[in-house]
Amino acid sequence: MINTFRRTLIALLVTPAALVAVHSSPVAAAADLPSAAAAPFVKVGYFTQWGIYRRNFTVKSLHTSGMAGKLTHINYAFGNVGADGKCFEANEAGVGDAWADYQKGFKAGESVDGVGDVYNQPLAGSFNQLKKLKAMYPNLKVQISLGGWTWSKYFSDAALTPASRAAMVSSCIDLYLKGDLPFIGNSTRGGVGSGYGVFDGIDLDWEWPGSEGNVGNIVRPEDKHNLTLLAQEFRSQLNAYGAQVGRTFSLTAFLPADPAKIAAGIEIAPLLSSLDFATIQGYDLTGPWNPVTGHASNLYPVSGSTFSVDLAIDTYLAGGAPASKLVLGIPYYGKGWAGVSSTNNGLGQPSTGPARGTFEDGTEDYKKLVTKTGTVFYDPTAVASWKLSGTNFWSYDTPQVIAQKCAYIKTNGLGGSMVWSLDGDTATGELTTAIHNGLQ
């Protein structure tokens, strides 16, 4: 675990000595703490393909909220891997959304630069908007994230043999980096090279190699080593293609927090040697699938909690990961329980099930949580916050918690932060600003 001296430094940012109710009190700046990591830190945010619909969160939102200037990387979620082990585009519910990716025309008022799409341009959709955003923010990098919880079914097959690994990597480079987007249906969008310049790298989001993920996922014991080999194949082909076009392409991966899943699926040091950095899951440590309320993204363990962010980071460090390649994941949403009593301010209490959420029961965006009535509580031992709103208990990260996590990143020489997902922040980018200020 983190040594006592460093933990004391981080605790200096915490004003209360016990559980207290907090509302909007300022937090001391983390910049005064010693930093073991060289600036600048990476600041990664996931942009969801489906966020342009009910959430009305478009690429332009990254600009108008001020988030784009406070990030180093945007991960576009997600690209799918097919039964043949290759990357592909489609317009089919639950399979792919090429319409959102590169077919949808954005009007002038919806466009990052105020220029609307026209019918005969080969690239439109969010891909084109991301390309425009990069023109406005030249230091911003965009990666395509492959898989995710829903689309990791065939990763095991794709990673199984040298031939399957080579075919997967080649297909992903052709589709996303070379930009050879297919014509689908009656759309005129696409064509050879139409998407070139949108993406600067690839993020592997296999959930989970060697252990259970979504129902129906293919899982093999060999996944652990095959992920390492897959990353090596990606690195080799990315380097070769980069040499051809005079560019450097990044490779990252999203990795689990559960030590059992790490042991089952991650060869830590060998895998990290192929990656620019790895983002570590720092959320969903508990949730309403458990009958008792708890912290969903606590930095440190407390009585009754099984997981913590610190435990995950410590596991990777013990396995030989360079601290500077570990990027700490932060949620822009909360997990909620219903039917909770006010005993102990709702913490550690039985519930009747998930609290109602706007898009999914048991889950709510930060921007929605801050508007709910109720009192916000802070646990300085766990470094975690929650809101008791009537009989609903919501565990989520506040700017105060984020300040402590940024201090932890600095003190331990980690590579930076990652957030899931950007559409959960407020219209003014409150949480993104907290990270930006904390990692100066």
Query: What would the mean pLDDT of 424-430 be, rounded to a whole number?
Result: 98
What angle do the packed helices 430-438 and 399-411 form, to 10 degrees? 30
The pTM (predicted TM-score) of the whole model is: 0.92
Residue 401 CB partners (closer than 8 Å, separation 6+) = 297, 299, 378, 383, 384, 385
Q: What local confidence, expressed as pLDDT, does residue 21 receive?
A: 36
pLDDT at 304: 72
Is it the case that residue 290 has pLDDT exceeding 80?
yes
Calpha distance 158→82 (Å, rounded): 9
Q: What is the pLDDT of residue 164?
A: 98
pLDDT digits (tens, 9 = 90+) for 30-48: 333 333 334 589 999 999 9
Which percentage of the chain shows pLDDT scores above 70?
Answer: 91
Q: Is residue 211 a contact partner of residue 219, using CB atoms and an 8 Å limit?
A: yes
Q: Which of 26-35, 61-70, 88-97, 122-131 has the lowest mean pLDDT?
A: 26-35
- How many CB atoms within 10 Å of residue 149? 14
Name the band, by pLDDT with cuts 50, 70 and 90, for residue 92: very high
Residue 354's alpha-carbon distances to 350, 363, 374, 416, in angstroms, are 11, 8, 18, 32
How do strand 375-379 and strand 20-22 relate by DSSP bridges?
Answer: antiparallel
Cα distance between residue 224 and residue 365, in whole Å? 33
Tokens of 114: 């105020």
Burial status of residue 232 (CB atoms within 10 A of its CB: 0-12, 13-18, 19 or more): middle
Q: What is the mean pLDDT of residues 389-410?
A: 98
pLDDT tens readout for residues 293-333: 999 999 999 877 789 999 999 999 999 999 999 999 999 99
Do 35 and 414 meet the contact criterion of CB atoms below 8 Å apart? no
Cα(438)–Cα(440) distance, integer angstroms: 6
Catalytic residue among 89, 110, 207, 233: 207
Q: Is the pLDDT of residue 22 over 80?
A: no
* Helices 162-172, 223-245: inter-axial angle, 10-degree rounding: 40
Quick: pLDDT tens for 185-234. Answer: 999 999 999 999 999 999 999 999 999 999 999 999 999 999 999 999 99
pLDDT band for 12, please (50, 70, 90 cuts): very low
Three-state DSSP string of the chain: CCCHHHHHHHHCCCCCCCCEEECCCCCCCHHHCCCCCCCCCEEEEEEEHHHHCCCCCCHHHHHHCCCHHHCCEEEEEEEEECCCCCEECCEECCCEEHHHHHHCCCCHHHCCCCCCCCCCCCCCHHHHHHHHHHHHCCCCEEEEEEEECCCCCCHHHHCCCHHHHHHHHHHHHHHHHCCCECCCCCCCCCECCCCCCCCCEEEEEECCCCCCCCCCCCCCCCHHHHHHHHHHHHHHHHHHHHHHHCCCCEEEEEECCCHHHHHHHCCHHHHHCCCCEEEECCCCCCCCCCCECCCCCCCCCCCCCCCCHHHHHHHHHHCCCCHHHEEEEEECEEEEEECCCCHHHHCCCECCEECCCCCECCEEEHHHHCCCCCEEEEECCCCEEEEEECCEEEEECCHHHHHHHHHHHHHCCCCEEEEECHHHCCCCCHHHHHHHHHCC
Q: Is the pLDDT of residue 78 over 50?
A: yes
Q: What is the pLDDT of residue 38?
A: 44
At residue 39, the pLDDT reads: 52
User: Distance between CA 417 and CA 362 in Å, rounded?
Assistant: 24
Domain 34-331+399-438 = CATH 3.40.50.720:
no
For residue 374, what pLDDT is reported? 98
- Rounded Cα gap, residues 418 and 282, in angstroms: 9
| pLDDT for residue 140 is more than 70 | yes
28 pLDDT above the threshold of 70: no
Whole-number average pLDDT of the chain: 92
Distance (Å, whole) CA 356 – CA 369: 12
Say if residue 9's pLDDT is above 50.
Answer: no
pLDDT at 16 over 50: no
Q: CA 404 to CA 80: how far, in whole Å? A: 35
pLDDT per residue over 367-397, tens digit each? 999 999 999 999 999 999 999 999 999 999 9
Residue 305 pLDDT: 74
Q: Is 92 a catalytic residue?
A: no
pLDDT of residue 209: 98
Structure tokens at 347: 């913490």
Phi, psi at 330, each rounded to 5°: -125, 135
Give the whole-angstrom CA distance, residue 337 versus residue 294: 9
pLDDT at 122 (0 to 100): 98
